[in-house]
Amino acid sequence: MSLATTLPSEAETPETSFDLFSSLQYSPSLLSSPENTEICGSPCPFYMLDYHRDRILHAARNFGWSDAVAVLEAPDALDLMREKGVEAVERIGGGVARLRIVISPSGILSAEANPIPSIPLSSLFPTSLTPPSITPWSVHLDTIPTPPTDLTRYKTTSRTHYNDARTRASITTFTEPKEVILWSPEGWIMEGSITNVYFYREEQGGWITPSTPMDDLTARKGKGGTAGTVRRWLIEKGMVRVGDLKKDEVVLGEVVWLSNGVKGLVLGRIASV
């Protein structure tokens, strides 16, 4: 029996008890960022806050969580997220923080914060994706496939598949400069365990990133990964385009970009395929 046939089908959802969440950076330096102000509508210390609300709302609609949808669609939804975020940051004494905003199926919104080192605005809102001369993260392809489900397409607290991939890649902490890329049983590249990923493909017009449910709501579900907030910004700015590729097309030693709502953009290099 092949490995693919022993894995859960795409239609299955392995767990039924979970919350939705999005992680983002909180930093006073963001108040001086014109790009962040444009996204949030006013100076804001939350990195792309409006985009995080949008992604959680899209997920809540997908799962049919009407109570959560009502909270996230309410006129004061962003104010509530800011309030919960500020309270969480104050509990750790302020400063730069990794903020995790969570909503339950019943619409209970909460936030937790952890201190992190300051990250320059140039990493959060780059003007170019030309790789700089810095030491890249070590990036590995997972050794087995991960079947796409709604738990890979949307950001949920059910993260066993990501944790297992990190274990297989011998990643033990979130501070290691190391990432693992998940791929589907059909061989499609999906995303990193904590990042979206971008490959340079000249024949496809430059930097590309695998498709997700938010790229084409009527025609496809994407290749199985999530639609990150930084990914959305890069696509809107024309710095990245949607383009699918298979694991066999990934080249050992090639440079990739990684992104998430806490670290912004991080340079990586493929260390194993």
Higher pLDDT, 50 or 222: 50
Strands 264-272 and 137-141: parallel
What are the start-end ranges of the E strands in the chain? 20-26, 97-103, 109-115, 137-141, 178-183, 189-192, 196-201, 206-209, 241-242, 255-260, 264-272
Delimit the CATH 3.30.470 region(s) of the chain.
20-118
Higher pLDDT, 4 or 229: 229
Mean pLDDT to the nearest integer, 209-219: 79
Task: Look up residue 185 and give its two tokens.
Answer: 């049983």
pLDDT at 45: 98
* pLDDT category of residue 214 using cuts at 50, 70 and 90: confident
pLDDT at residue 182 tops 80: yes
Task: Assign domain 126-272 one CATH number from 3.60.10.10, 3.20.10.10, 3.90.78.10, 1.10.10.10.
Answer: 3.20.10.10
Mean pLDDT to the nearest integer, 84-110: 98
Mean pLDDT to the nearest integer, 244-259: 98
Mean pLDDT to the nearest integer, 110-114: 98
pLDDT at 95: 96
Burial of 193 (0-12, 13-18, 19+ CB in 10 A): buried
Vertex 233: Cα angle to 232 and 235 (nearest 5):
65
pLDDT at 213: 86
Delimit the CATH 3.20.10.10 region(s) of the chain.
126-272
pLDDT at 3: 29
Mean pLDDT to the nearest integer, 4-11: 33
Task: Assign domain 20-118 one CATH number from 3.30.470, 3.40.1350, 3.40.50, 3.30.70.
Answer: 3.30.470
**DSSP secondary structure string for all residues of 51-116:** HHHHHHHHHHHHHT-HHHHHHHHSTTHHHHHHHHHHHHHHHTTSSSEEEEEEE-TT--EEEEEEE-
Q: What is the CA radius of gyration of the chain?
A: 18
Mean pLDDT of the chain: 93
pLDDT at 12: 43
pLDDT at 5: 28
| Residues whose CB falls within 8 Å of the CB of residue 116, separated by 6 or more in sequence, listed in order | 25, 96, 97, 98, 262
pLDDT at 47: 98
Mean pLDDT to the nearest integer, 29-33: 98
